[in-house]
Amino acid sequence: MKGVIYIRVSSDEQVKGTSLEFQEEQCLRYCKSNNIEVVGVFRDKGQSAKDLSKGNRKKFLEALEFCRKNKKNVDAFIVLRVERFARNTEDHFAVRKLLLGHGVNLHSVTEPIGNKPAEKFIETVLAGAAEYDNALRKQRCSDGMSKKIDQGIYPWKSPIGYECGHYKKRGEKKTAP
C-alpha cells in the first residue's frame, strides 16, 4: 500500500514550534506500523482549514492533485487527526468523496475512522466536532470584539489618520478608549 501524508498548522506561532515535526513523526510511525509506503509529504504552514473554497491551502490542493494524477499508485491519505484534514463538514465529506473516487482512503493516525458503519459514524462526529470548535472560536472572538467596542475601545488596526498606541510591542492590551 502507498500513501501521502498531509500535515498542517494554522498559525505562524505553530510553524515556529514543533507541531509540524510532531505531526510528521506520528504519521511516519503510523505508516511504518501499517506497511504504508510514503510517496509524498505535503505541509501547509500557517493555513486555516476553516474553508477550502478560499484556496489558501496550496499544499492540500497539491496533495489532492497528486492523488488524482497517481490514481493507481496512492491508496491512503494520512493525517494526524480529522481536524487537520478539514474544519468544515461539507468540505470534509466532499474531499473524502473525491479521494474515494481516486481509490484513496482517508486515514487518521489518532482516530478510528474508515468505511465500516461504526468508523463512518465516528468520522462524522469528529468532522462535526471540528466544525463546532471552529464556530465556537469565531463566536468567542466576535463576542470579545463586541465587548471592546461597548467599552469604547477600537479592536482593529488604527484607521488612516489615527496613530497606533503600539500596545502589542509593549506586551500590553488596549484597556482604555
* Cα separation, 7 vs 25, whole angstroms: 10
Res. 78 pLDDT band, cuts 50 70 90: very high
Residue 1 CA: distances (Å) to CA of 34, 50, 61, 84, 107 = 9, 30, 22, 22, 12
Residue 162 CA: distances (Å) to CA of 24, 28, 159, 171 = 45, 51, 6, 21
**By mean pLDDT, which of 77-86, 103-112, 130-139 is the weakest?**
130-139
Instruction: Name the residue among 87, 120, 90, 125 with its Cα closest to residue 105.
Output: 120
12-69 pLDDT per residue, tens: 554 445 588 889 999 999 999 999 999 999 998 865 555 555 557 889 999 999 999 9
CB 39 within 8 A of CB 2: yes
User: In this structure, is the dihedral angle defined by the CA atoms of residues 134, 136, 140 and 146, taken in order, positive or negative?
Assistant: positive
Report pLDDT for 15: 44
Domain boundaries 2-113, corresponding CATH code: 3.40.50.1390
**By mean pLDDT, which of 24-28, 92-96, 120-124, 157-161 is the weakest?**
157-161
- Surface-to-core class of residue 67, CB atoms within 10 Å of its CB (0-12 exposed, 13-18 middle, 19+ buried): buried
Helix (H) or strand (E) holding 62: helix 58-69
Report pLDDT for 96: 92
130-166 pLDDT per residue, tens: 888 878 888 888 888 888 888 887 777 777 877 777 7
Sketch the domain layout of the chain as residue ranges.
2-113
